[in-house]
Amino acid sequence: MKTALTLLTTFLMASLAPLSSAADAKTETAIIGGGCFWCVEAQYLLVKGVKNVVSGYAGGQTENPTYEQVSSGDTGHAEVIKVEFDPAIISYKEIIDLFWDAHDPTSVTKEDGEHHGKFMPKGTAYQGNDYGTQYRSAIYYTSEEQHKIAESSKLEVQKKWKDPIATEIAPLKIFYPAEDYHQNFKALNPNQGYVRAVVDPKTEKFKHKLEEKGKIKPDAK
């Protein structure tokens, strides 16, 4: 009886293992940053094939950084999102190709200047009214294949921009999820001032791009 039960248990475990692997294989990830993560998160939640988006931090040296630390510009981290997507619906290349439509990848300050009460040296990254290295344009790859795709996409899209693309393309060291209150920020805070003034218009513009390219979720709002 014990032998029969052991065989049955082994059979069940063996039959379930491939199912778990198959499920895991349906999701891939991309780590990108294009300014305030509230904006980029809201944009990519509209993309067909994207299963989940997590706002967070990457590219710096501080371990387990807080939002306040990253906002100081001293951690080296950028505000980024982790995009979890189904490669059967959308490829990593398509995720990156859309990235160039989500923000201005050429934006760095050309002159030294004072912004929001803080001195910003020449070459400081910015997106809209958000100045600082934490808002830099960035792609953090997790494999050499992703690296090649990102570099190739950058070369192709550079033809459409007058100024040089300033996007950092580097290997991902570690991704730190941001605090819970940053997740799904636009949907949970529709009347917040920054959301209405910045996130909504930027998301709406991206939405039209997705509609043109047939990459928008059917239930996107």
CA 130, 41, 80, 139 torsion-angle sign: negative
Cα 132 to Cα 137: distance, rounded to the nearest angstrom:
11
- Residue 147 CA: distances (Å) to CA of 59, 79, 115, 133, 150: 15, 20, 34, 22, 5
* 36 flagged as catalytic: yes
Instruction: Output the six-digit token pair for 25.
Output: 């294989």
User: Could you say which of 36, 39, 139, 195 is catalytic?
Assistant: 36
Closest CA to 41 of 28, 29, 27, 52: 52
Cα 203 to Cα 17: distance, rounded to the nearest angstrom:
40
**Active-site annotation, residues:** 36
